[in-house]
Structure 1
Amino acid sequence: MVRVLGVVFVVAALIAGGLGAEVSSAQELVSVNVRVVNGTAGAEPPAALPILLLATGLDGRVAATAQGQTDDTGAFEFGDLPLLSGGQYVFSVDYAGVLYTEVLLPEELSEGVQIDVYDTTRDVTVVQFRRQVMVIAGVDASEREISAIEFVLIANESDRTLLPDVSNPAMMSFLRFSLPPGTHDLDVQSNLPSREIISVGSGFAVTSPVIPGGHSVEFSYIFPYEGKALSYRQPLLQGAEVYQVLVPDRLAPVRVGGLDKVEPVHIQDTRYQAWEGRGISPGHGVELELMELPEPSLPDRIEKAVTSASLWYAIL
């Protein structure tokens, strides 16, 4: 069984296809027991909660749709569902403003499905940053730009889902990430449900709900530098149990200051020099320094000067 959170297309497909049970052809029929459980300590069972079902075949086409409502114990049974030879069954529940989804394969239907839901909190401190790794992916000496990728592992070990208040950004109830000065071409990926990425201070914030458990965020970007070194503050607003910077050997002699040098890391046949800090409290951050950065060659500098708009303006 695979957990998916925030699958908006489920709701859209059910609305488009109708919310009553719908079977595409004469097939073997099965019943599926669904149980919705509130994982927040002391919370009441989620009674009278609508449940949505979308079944799709191997070709991705909708094979059946249905809806139901939990009883006083959080249980419901879907009956007369077509047993597909492949594909999947997606069960979704919207509880307290968060969409929870479980996905079953046809061979798993006999086991039934449990959907865990949680009460919500605005307290961002329930989410811990286990590890944040910045990888220097490339350095363009001619443009004086650095490309980087960051991988962040987070965990919500509470029994409540963090539900950011996007209507009140001043509360800062969402996950925040800082970026180097002058960053551009930002791209953010995550296994959190898709929600808006908003600009906050010198970085960005992810407004997605964060259910209890482990999650990941990945983002890439490009930022400029001048001279042979660049220093900036990485505030690590939520702190980090481990913060690392990795530089592949091919970019030697680029090195990092502000962190402790540790043993090199090998990833997919590539060796990376590594620097790290541990036990960083929220907001304390690190003073990061990238050193021995390459400078443009003489031909690059000449070409840059010749093509500079300011030079042509001066001549004209």
Structure 2
Amino acid sequence: MRKILTLGVSLFIGVILSQSYLLASEPENYRVNGKIKNGTSNGEVPAGLSVALHSEHLEKGAGMFHTFTEADGSFEFPSIEVEEDTLYGVSVIHQGATYTQNVNPSDGASVEIEVFDAVDSDDVVAGFNASVLFTNVDPMTRRVSIMEMITLINESRLTYVPAGGPMDLLRFGLPAGSDQLIVDTNIPGADWIQVDRGFALIASVPPGKHEVMYVYSVPYENSFLEYEKTWRYGTGSLRVVSEEDLVDFQTDLGVDYQSVEIGGIDYRVQEAPDIQRGLKTMFRLTDLPAPTFRQSLSQGYNSMRYEFVGPVSLAILLSVGGLYGTWRVVQIRRRSLVDRRGWFPGSDERQVIEDMISELDYLLEEGSLGIDEHRRRSEILNRRLLAIPVEG
């Protein structure tokens, strides 16, 4: 009876705890409301705009809800299920530009997003500061790795929205032959495409500062690399950096070099102010390392198409074997380069008999042939040699 009572109490507690856990795990509904404001002077009230509330669950994936702004720019999502392990954000599109803001529906705070009227002239976009870093030199592939970072600034109260043509996009030039390009930016909703001599950002640029970072690789020849860069948007300051002893670089910026220690590493730095829009800068890299013979051989073998690896390996093996065999013949026949006939003078009878006698001597020295047998064969070959007429 006591055991039955204990079991019943345990089951009752288990049921209560499981119900409490389920209740605690159930999603709760919250109201999300806010207002869209136009930050452009004399800009129209953003009425009738489509507003989206985005959700991204760790396991369930993405979800989306839509509503529209009222005449005063306000909006509301009356009932949103809020779950754990989920991120939420609100976005709105105004005159072709997208504006986003992360939100936490459970805190009940009103969401406020500022939008701006659009302009299609990139004159409102400028470089605030920029850096060029030479990060690595690979002698195996003869390539220099470069990282560039630029902070773009829009100090107007308008958002730059590119017109329809590709030349209207934000464009950044790269040296000829560049590849392995990676681009990153904090501009909302931005994407990028590679163009003829660089890349272009597909993005709108609202007021404020925005970071763009990109890395790429450039080939060089004869331990030398020279290229010219155009600063399309200018920059308030430019810094060129390389680790000491990594690469010897020169520019035409007309400023002195400085040595700076960062984290225990010495860097060579050039810093120039006020780079105007459209200014061209020449970069020269000299004394770049060349691959050793072993590295060149390894690189050629590693870059070979897989279907050729087997045949080429066999050819190399046969070549090495042939060279070893030739060396053995030369050693056995005791040839010398001072011999007027060289190592391979031909196959006349006198030469053949002399080679056979040398081979007998070699076999005797290494113990493969007995003295009596050596004497018997040598006498036969020498008699034959004496019978051959002497030339001229």
TM-score normalized by structure 2? 0.63
Work out which of the two has the higher radius of gyration on C-alpha atoms and give 1 or 2: 2
Residue 46 of structure 1, CA deviation:
0.4
For structure 1, the residue ranges without an aligned partner over 5 or more in a row are 1-24, 310-316
Query: 2:37, 2:115 within 8 Å by CA — same for their partners in 1?
Result: yes
Matched, 1:177 2:172: yes
**Number of the residue aligned with 1:197:** 193
Q: Tell me which amino acid in the other structure corresponds to 1:70.
A: T
2:215 paired residue among 215, 220, 225: 220
Aligned-partner SS, 2:232: coil
**Number of the residue aligned with 1:67:** 66
Q: Distance between the aligned counterparts of 2:260 and 2:127, measured in 1?
A: 21
Query: 2:30, 2:105 within 8 Å by CA — same for their partners in 1?
Result: no
Aligned-partner SS, 2:279: coil
Structure showing the higher helix proportion among its residues: 2
Residue 27 of structure 1, CA deviation:
4.4
Residue 279 of structure 1, CA deviation:
0.7
Residue 223 of structure 1, CA deviation:
0.8
Q: Deviations over 1:231-264 (max 9, x none)?
A: 2211112112122221113515x23332333434
Higher relative contact order (CA 8 A, sep 6+): 1
Aligned-partner SS, 1:125: helix
User: Matches of residues 148-159 of structure 1 in structure 2 within 5 Å?
Assistant: 148-159=146-157
- Evaluate the alpha carbon distance shift between residue 142 and residue 45 of structure 1 in structure 2; reply closer, same or farther with a 3 A threshold: same
Residue 199 of structure 1, CA deviation:
0.4
User: Matches of residues 37-52 of structure 1 in structure 2 within 5 Å?
Assistant: 37-52=37-52
Q: Distance between the aligned counterparts of 1:199 and 1:267, measured in 2?
A: 35
- Evaluate the alpha carbon distance shift between residue 198 and residue 225 of structure 1 in structure 2; reply closer, same or farther with a 3 A threshold: closer
Q: Distance between the aligned counterparts of 2:223 and 2:88, measured in 1?
A: 55
Q: Deviations over 1:27-77 (max 9, x none)?
A: 4433222100111111011011121112344x3536974322111110122
Q: Distance between the aligned counterparts of 1:185 and 1:305, measured in 2?
A: 20
Matched length? 279
Q: Distance between the aligned counterparts of 1:304 and 1:174, measured in 2?
A: 39
**Number of the residue aligned with 1:34:** 34
User: Matches of residues 239-254 of structure 1 in structure 2 within 5 Å?
Assistant: 239-249=234-244, 251=246, 254=248
**Number of the residue aligned with 1:147:** 145
**Number of the residue aligned with 2:360:** none
Q: Distance between the aligned counterparts of 1:269 and 1:84, measured in 2?
A: 47
**Number of the residue aligned with 2:93:** 94
Q: Distance between the aligned counterparts of 2:103 and 2:278, measured in 1?
A: 41
Q: Distance between the aligned counterparts of 1:189 and 1:288, measured in 2?
A: 24
Residue 104 of structure 1, CA deviation:
1.0
Q: Distance between the aligned counterparts of 1:261 and 1:60, measured in 2?
A: 55
Q: Distance between the aligned counterparts of 2:233 and 2:60, measured in 1?
A: 42
Q: Distance between the aligned counterparts of 1:183 and 1:65, measured in 2?
A: 40
For structure 2, the residue ranges without an aligned partner over 5 or more in a row are 1-24, 305-392
Query: 1:174, 1:207 within 8 Å by CA — same for their partners in 2?
Result: yes
- Evaluate the alpha carbon distance shift between residue 305 and residue 214 of structure 1 in structure 2; reply closer, same or farther with a 3 A threshold: closer
Task: Indicate the larger mover: 227-236 or 41-50.
Answer: 227-236
Q: Tell me which amino acid in the other structure corresponds to 2:137.
A: V
Q: Distance between the aligned counterparts of 1:146 and 1:64, measured in 2?
A: 44
1:258 paired residue among 235, 240, 252: 252
Q: Tell me which amino acid in the other structure corresponds to 1:87.
A: T
User: Matches of residues 200-211 of structure 1 in structure 2 within 5 Å?
Assistant: 200=196, 202-211=197-206
Q: Tell me which amino acid in the other structure corresponds to 1:94.
A: I
1:119 paired residue among 114, 117, 120: 117
Task: Indicate the larger mover: 33-42 or 219-228.
Answer: 219-228
Aligned-partner SS, 2:123: helix
Q: Distance between the aligned counterparts of 2:56 and 2:296, measured in 1?
A: 58
Q: Distance between the aligned counterparts of 2:283 and 2:62, measured in 1?
A: 54
Query: 1:120, 1:162 within 8 Å by CA — same for their partners in 2?
Result: yes
Query: 1:181, 1:223 within 8 Å by CA — same for their partners in 2?
Result: yes
Query: 1:189, 1:218 within 8 Å by CA — same for their partners in 2?
Result: yes
Task: Indicate the larger mover: 273-282 or 76-85.
Answer: 76-85
Q: Distance between the aligned counterparts of 1:89 and 1:300, measured in 2?
A: 52
**Number of the residue aligned with 2:230:** 235
Aligned-partner SS, 2:55: strand
Q: Percent identity?
A: 29
